[in-house]
Amino acid sequence: MTAEPTTGPTTGPAAPAFDLSTTYLGLSLRSPLVASSGPLTARIDSLRALEQAGVAAVVLPSLFEEQIEHEDMQAAGLGDLGADSNPEATSYFPDLGDYESVVDRYLRHLAEAKKALSIPVMASLNGETSGGWVRYARLLENAGADALELNLYGIAADLDVTGRDVEDEQLELVALVKASLSIPLAVKIGPNYSAMGHQAARFVDAGADGLVLFNRFYQPDIDPQTRKVSAALILSSSAELRLPLRWTAILSGRVEASLAVTTGVHTGADAARCLLAGADVAMMTSALLEKGAGHVATVENELVGWAVESGFESVNQLRGSVSQRHVEDPAAFERANYMAALTGFTSSFR
C-alpha cells in the first residue's frame, strides 16, 4: 500500500518518511500515540502541550458516578443542616447559586478541551448504576465528546456473585450505553476474566467499537508499622506491557473492533510492540507523568526511526504482523511459552 507521509506536530519531531496514520473507533488519527485518561488530560495547558508534542487523541479523566453521588449527598446534608437549625429561616441555607457540580465541571472541561484542541477528545465514564451510565453517557455526547470510553474498573469481591453474573452485568451495561449513543464506544476492561478472549468477543457483540486493554488495578498495601492499608500509587514500567501485548496479539483480526493498549507503553519500542501485536493505538499515562508531555515527540521519533530502519512504510503495513494469526508459532502466545520461558531461564542461570 502506498502511503503519504504525515505532517509532523507543530513543535515536535520533523515530518517522518513513514505514514503514521491510523484509525481508532472510526476516527482518523495522525499517529497511533494517544494520551490515556489521567492528570495530564485534566488540564487545558497540559492538553495543549500534548497536542503540540504530536499526540493524536486524548482521553479525559473519568467522570465517576460515585463522586457525583457523594457530592449530591453532601449538598443535601448541608441543606438539612440549615433546615434543622431554624425551619423558618431559609436564609440559613447555603447559597448554591455559583456552585458548580462535578458533572458541570466535567462538561465545562470537555467543552474547553474541544475548543482548545483540534485532535479528537474522548470522554471517560465510570458508572455505578445502569441509569447513571446512560444518563451521563448522553450528557458527554451532547457536550461534544468524539467518543466515549467506559471504564469498567471493578473488583468482584462479593463471594455470592459468580463470574458469569459479573460478565453478564457488564455486557448489559455496554449494550445499554451503546443503544443510547451515536458516538463510538470503547470499553476499558481488566484482564481478569476466566476466558478473556470469549468475554472480549461478547463485549464487541454487545456493541463495543473498541477494547482498551487493560485497566491497571492499583493494589492496596499494608504498612506493618501503622497496621494501616495504604494505597500509594506506583506508576507503570515497560515490563507491564507484556500482559496487554499477549491479549492484543490473540484478539487481533479475530474481533471486529479497534484495539488500544494501555499499561506499560513508555518508549518507541513499546509502541512498536503494540502495533506489531495488532493494536490500532498505544496509550500512555505513566511515561508522560514521569517525563512530561513533550515525551510524546520522543516516542514518535523512536517509533519512526525503528520502522524506517526495519523497512516499513506505514502503520497499516506493520500492524498485526506479529499477532497470533501471523506468527509461525501461535502457541508462543499461549501456554507453550510457559515451559520454554522456564527452561530458558533455568539453563541460562547455571
Ligand X SMILES: Cc1cc2nc3c(=O)[nH]c(=O)nc-3n(C[C@H](O)[C@H](O)[C@H](O)COP(=O)(O)O)c2cc1C
Residue 37 interacting with ligand X (CB under 6 A):
yes
Scan residues 288-327 and list those touching ligand X (CB under 6 A).
none
Q: Which residues pair with 149 in a beta bridge?
A: 124, 186
x/- map, 170-189, ligand X, by CB under 6 A: ------------------x-
Instruction: Rank residues 126 and 199 by Cβ distance to ligand X and give the closer one.
Output: 126
Among 31, 151, 248, 252, binds ligand X (CB under 6 A): 151
Instruction: Tell me the CB-side half-sphere exposure of residue 336, using CA atoms within 13 A.
Output: 5
Instruction: In whole angstroms, give the CA distance from residue 57 to residue 309.
Output: 26
Instruction: Tell me the CB-side half-sphere exposure of residue 223, using CA atoms within 13 A.
Output: 8
Using only C-alpha atoms, what is the Rg of the chain?
22
Residue 216 interacting with ligand X (CB under 6 A):
yes
Instruction: In whole angstroms, give the CA distance from residue 55 to residue 58.
Output: 7
Residue 263 interacting with ligand X (CB under 6 A):
yes
Instruction: Rank residues 62 and 252 by Cβ distance to ligand X and give the closer one.
Output: 62
The SS3 of residue 36 is: coil
DSSP letter string, 202-224: HHHHTT-SEEEE---PPPPEEET
Scan residues 85-124 and list those touching ligand X (CB under 6 A).
124
Residue 39 interacting with ligand X (CB under 6 A):
yes
338, 340, 343, 348: CA torsion to nearest 10 = -120
Residue count, binding to ligand X (CB under 6 A)? 20
Residue 208 interacting with ligand X (CB under 6 A):
no
Record the cell numbers describing residue 120, joined without a space. Answer: 479528537
Instruction: In whole angstroms, give the CA distance from residue 108 to residue 234.
Output: 30
17-25, 199-207, 260-268, 297-305 -> range binding ligand X (CB under 6 A): 260-268
Residue 8 interacting with ligand X (CB under 6 A):
no
96-104, 109-117, 127-135, 285-293 -> range binding ligand X (CB under 6 A): 285-293
Task: Report in angstroms how near the CB of residue 60 gets to ligand X at its nearest.
Answer: 8
Residues in touch with ligand X (CB under 6 A):
36-39, 61-62, 124, 151, 188, 216, 233, 236, 262-265, 284-287
